[in-house]
Amino acid sequence: MHLAGPRDRIFFRPDSLRCGIVTCGGLCPGINNVIRGLVLELTHAYGVKEIYGFRYGFEGLVARHGHAPMRLGPAEVSEVHQKGGTLLGTSRGGQDPREMVDTLVALGIGALFVRRRNPRVRLAPMIDGGGHERGARDDATEGIPDGHQAASARAPGTRR
């Protein structure tokens, strides 16, 4: 049995890892709890020092929309679980995956946590090149420079 919590062996070096969080596709109950839990676990259990929240879904990953990333830490999320909605905002619809990748690479994001309401949608192909969704296409990996390593994880929404 695997217990929850940090692994003995992990792929990235937490002391130099930059993480991103994005919420897409609409609201769901407890989304601020998910954001808060990610920030606290990354900070306290893993020692990650830089966490960014991308505003308004995948739009926040496209520079021309002008949504500056929000720096997230324990102080920024300390009471967010007591509020409704989402701290980061959300939007529906796709964006050009190359533009999203450009933002992730420019900020040095090594791990992206994506909250999408639709559990049938595969996670963040803009990073790993797999799957099909409105937010990204298979050819998105063209813009990732050689040697840039990144991972993604999807946090599903709750069902109605």
pLDDT per residue over 75-100, tens digit each?
Answer: 999 998 888 888 998 887 778 888 88
Q: Could you give the percent of the chain with pLDDT greater than 70?
A: 68
pLDDT at 131: 35
Residue ranges of domains in the chain: 18-156
Token code pair at residue 132: 């099909």
pLDDT at 24: 82
Token code pair at residue 154: 């999807």
> Which residue carries 């324990």 as its tokens?
74
> Which residue carries 């040697």 as its tokens?
147
Distances (CA, A) of 48 to 9, 98, 140, 147: 15, 26, 27, 21
pLDDT at 16: 87
CA pair distance 130, 63, nearest whole angstrom: 24
CB 131 within 8 A of CB 94: no
Strand partners, 151: 111
pLDDT at 2: 64
DSSP states of 6-48 as a string? --SS-SS-TTT-EEEEEEESS--TTHHHHHHHHHHIIIIIT--
* Residue 43 amino acid letter: T
CB 52 within 8 A of CB 42: no
139-155 confidence digits (pLDDT tens): 344 445 555 555 555 55
Q: Please state which of the four CATH numbers 3.30.565.10, 1.10.357.10, 3.40.50.450, 3.30.1300.10 is assigned to the domain occupying 18-156.
A: 3.40.50.450
